[in-house]
Chains A and B, each alone.
Chain A
Amino acid sequence: MTQRPTRTGELLSIDGLKTHFYTQDGVVKAVDGVSFGIRNGETLGVVGESGCGKSITALSVMRLIERPGRIVAGSIRLADRDLLALSDEEMRDVRGNAISMIFQEPMTSLNPVYPCGDQIAEAISLHEGIHRREAGDRAIEMLSQVGIPDAKRRAREYPHQLSGGMRQRVMIAMALSTNPELLIADEPTTALDVTIQAQILELMKALRERNRMAIMLITHDLGVIAEMADDVVVMYSGKVVESSDVNTVFEQPHHPYTKGLLASIPRLGEKRHRLEVIQGVVPNPLNLPKGCLFKRRCPSAMPVCDTPPPLQEIQPGHLSRCWLTPAGEPPEIGADAEAETAVAAAAALTVEA
């Protein structure tokens, strides 16, 4: 398979990433051949159900995968740097400067025994080599920028003294204090109430505009994706099943999983009606079906789906991992083609993303 050509101005490029966990019960292929890129100033939304590999993809970019997990294949590039080839020390430097991450669980990344302001100041002083005193003033400035009232007093407080919304803002202030080129935000608002979520999303938009940073935004909330993202990647069981610009994904989804997701959510302002459902549950990662991972739940499943489907280009820039043609018909080789024919056809139809 050929390598995906780097699009111009791509800041982050992930190609064929595989991160597997070698557990006692077997190998969990948490991320299994994921490719995508993000340009400067762009927001890429990553959606998918619990356990589909969103966080592990993010942690792979940060190179924070711990045993029994391991990145077993693929490449991750940040501008012209090959992140997987960097030494641990060089990677620490990347994490403190070029890339920041807001973790899914804010309490795990804030140190409970230090005041919030000190933690941000520490990051700033490491990043810029300035004095702690000056860094402390900058930290307070950051806290007030993210909408924390009375920032001077709050800077002296410990994480447990803050509400969930404030902790999340402290995390954001810390992540942004080093002016990163890439912000990875893993479910930054999922634990928050909607009115607080709205505050945080507004804040992220304002800062994105000001700093022109790229954002990888992970969430399972399609509303948040619609609101924030330029491009969208839909993951299912460790694989990208569909990707395109945000309007295309919402208006002309191709993959039956994406279609099912969009049809199953109740939306504000829509009259009471029966919701569409996706039958069944996500497959057990230790016991994945052969062929298309979605086939047991898929309303369009055909015999040919026992062979792994191609990653097809539906339209320029719109990819879908499904046997259906761009028009939604069974493939030319027929719905019940022989396995050998199917394997060859899949290879021919696949565009390496």
Chain B
Amino acid sequence: METTNPGAQPAAAPAAGETLLRVENLVKHFEIRGGLLGISTIGAVRAVDGVSFSVRKGETLGLVGESGCGKTTLGKVILRLIPATSGKVTVKNRVLFDIPTEEERKAGRRATVLDAGEMKKARRDLQVVFQDPYASLNPRMSVGEIVGEGPLVHGLTDKGKREDLVRELLARVGLNQSHIHRYPHEFSGGQRQRIGIARALALNPDFVVCDEPVSALDVSIQSQVLNLLDDLQQELGLTYLFIAHNLAVVEHISDRVGVMYLGMMVELAEVDDIYVRPAHPYTVALLSAVPDPNPRNRRRRVILKGDIPSPANPPSGCRFHTRCWLRERLGNPEQCTTVVPEFREIQPGHAVACHFAEEVTPDTIGAAARTGGPVAS
């Protein structure tokens, strides 16, 4: 089967619990402009290219993948911070948007998008904590203004009560309440990240996208923020989409984990499943690449060759085929270069997009680890 529309992926269904967020065939292409006047479209960065998954109420879905694979874009499109090219997002049974693909549009299907007033209400439930605690806070606003702005705009508080609300939020994230009139530059990175978290919590959201919330922090501060996110989830019943490239951090905080490669979800499973029995060759390599902080465990690893291809010009068939150790081992089957692998369940709740996922075994992994290595001689 030649699949030209990689968006035709089934959603890996959450095993139990009420579904809070459902993402279906989500696509985000950034047009590359060029030509004489710089106005004609000469291509597209396929940042998110047909991603489907759901998140249960109260769980943390971790999202990992290397730089540029589309994690941030995915988070922003879900929150409607940037418009989707096509696809559907549903939060608490309310459709935020449902945008047809080009073909569907030609066939007469119309887009559904929540109107501005309804979206404003929906937005209260959907918050985000960004990676960079330096860039994401307005330097000219005091902590009280930053944290209290959202509730004020949404009419959840008035100028008089705002200060009390902010003090309560600061205490909740472990900041000194008397710092309410200070400005961002007077805080350390970890403290700024707490301010960002307090701002996200101010609207009492159900769902928080955490985009690399600890990546910019030193290790000793990172654990403080991770514990805080954990506590808040317990206390407030929050649901997280937790984006990070640190696999140990993601394992620590997540219930389920999705792995992205070049705009696509290549594997999604319960955290124990995916870390113990990864089924996609890319996940195997990603996990084996993590340096283990145990000097007695200098294991052999599966080293991938080459760099991550450009999402403006992704490889045909399976996007991972240019770096895939399994394909090489199987004698370069043609399927890998011509057919987009289906995102299929190999076990209940464990979905993977590889034609040969069943061949990912301790034997093949062991053999690949022995022959890997980028050094020419």
Question: What residues make up the interface of A, taking CB atoms closer than 8 Å to B?
Answer: 49-50, 144-147, 149, 163-166, 193-199, 201-203, 206-207, 220-227, 229, 246-247, 250, 260-262, 264-270, 272, 274-279, 281-282
Contacts and interface: CB of A to CB of B under 8 A. Distances in A.
Contacts of B271: 272
Interface stretch (B82-90, B134-142, B242-250, B352-360): B242-250
B324 to A, nearest CB: 12
A268 B376 contact: no
Interface stretch (B4-12, B23-31, B284-292, B338-346): B284-292
Given A250-B295, A275-B226, A277-B223, A194 B374 contact: no
Contacts of B373: 202, 206
B173 to A, nearest CB: 14
A250 B293 contact: yes
Contacts of B66: 193-196
A173 B222 CA distance: 34
Given A223-B290, A226-B293, A247-B296, A264 B374 contact: no
A267 B222 contact: no
Contact of A261 (B219, B275, B307): B219
A194 B245 contact: yes
Given A265-B248, A266-B252, A267-B292, A49 B219 contact: yes
A226 B249 contact: no
B347 to A, nearest CB: 20
B87 to A, nearest CB: 26
A276 B223 contact: yes
A50 B222 CA distance: 13
- Which of A193, A201, A221, A223 neighbours the largest number of chain B CB atoms within 10 Å of its CB? A193
- Which of A198, A206, A229 neighbours the largest number of chain B CB atoms within 10 Å of its CB? A198
A315 B188 CA distance: 36
Interface stretch (B39-47, B50-58, B112-120, B297-305): B297-305
Interface in B230-280: 230, 245-249, 251-253, 271, 275
B303 A226 contact: no
A206 B372 CA distance: 13
Given A49-B220, A260-B220, A223 B291 contact: yes
Contacts of B291: 197-198, 201, 221, 223-224, 226-227
A144 B219 contact: no
Given A145-B376, A265-B248, A275-B252, A194 B293 contact: no
B306 interface: yes
Given A194-B66, A223-B292, A281-B188, A269 B220 contact: no
Q: Nearest 7 A-B pairs (CB), nearest first?
A: A223-B291, A147-B374, A198-B289, A266-B252, A193-B66, A264-B223, A278-B220
A266 B286 contact: no
Contacts of A266: 223, 226, 246, 248-249, 251-252
B304 A199 contact: yes
Contacts of B361: none
Given A202-B375, A203-B375, A222-B293, A268 B223 contact: no
A331 B53 CA distance: 58
B2 interface: no
B216 to A, nearest CB: 10
A198 B292 CA distance: 12
Contacts of B219: 49, 220, 222, 261, 264-265
